[in-house]
Amino acid sequence: MLFVLMSVLLFSATGLSQSIDPLNSEQDLKKLHITADSLVASQNNQLVIFSGRVIALYELTTIRSDKLQVYYSDHIDKKQLNSSSIKKIVATGNVQIELEDKTAKCDRAIYLTSSNSLILTGEETRLQSEDSYITGNKITIYQNTGKITVDGSDDKRVNAVFQPQEKTSISDLK
């Protein structure tokens, strides 16, 4: 089973020594593509750890971090690791995420497949869309509903800055 997982990860990652081109239209966006300096897999813990300049691509989301841990189900398909076999993904260290029209920066990001949610945490956690942004200690993005919750701490409150779009013509003012 470990050999199957390693083979799938190595081939779906398009080679650990290559960098991923997020604009490469030939890449299959439904696959999880990961590059890193090193990989350690633990079959007993159903865990694969990528370390060093990690870049992960899935659909239109790009995650960059120092370390990425992929937790998978012990009922893994013998042929491939797929979204139904991944339980959660944890990115730590200088985490930067690009998703749709938003960018996020945090110390730690956890993606939970069961709820299709992304939890961002850290002292300088920030979610930005164009010139508008939200900061807090914990930002949770529920991708199925589009709901976002932001929590502060005793020391640092939630901060939100919204930049309205400029009106360029009389018809825009209506």
Looking at the domain assignment, is residue 93 inside a domain? Answer: yes
| The pLDDT value given to residue 135 | 96
Q: Which pTM does this prediction carry?
A: 0.74
Distances (CA, A) of 58 to 43, 149, 154, 161: 23, 23, 35, 29
Looking at the domain assignment, is residue 23 inside a domain? Answer: no
Looking at the domain assignment, is residue 169 inside a domain? Answer: no
pLDDT tens across 82-131, in order?
455 889 999 999 999 998 889 999 999 999 989 999 999 998 899 999 89
Q: What percent of the chain has pLDDT above 70?
A: 71
Looking at the domain assignment, is residue 170 inside a domain? Answer: no
Looking at the domain assignment, is residue 134 inside a domain? Answer: yes
Looking at the domain assignment, is residue 171 inside a domain? Answer: no
| The pLDDT value given to residue 169 | 59
Number of domains in the chain: 1
Domain limits at 44? 2-18+29-163
What would the DSSP string read from start to end of 66-116? Answer: EEEEEEE-SS--SS---TTTEEEEEEEEEEEEEETTEEEEEEEEEEETTTT
Looking at the domain assignment, is residue 81 inside a domain? Answer: yes
CATH number for the domain that contains residue 79? 2.60.450.10
Cβ-count burial 125-144 (b if 16+ within 10 Å, e if not): bbbeeeeebbbbbbbbbeee
Looking at the domain assignment, is residue 36 inside a domain? Answer: yes
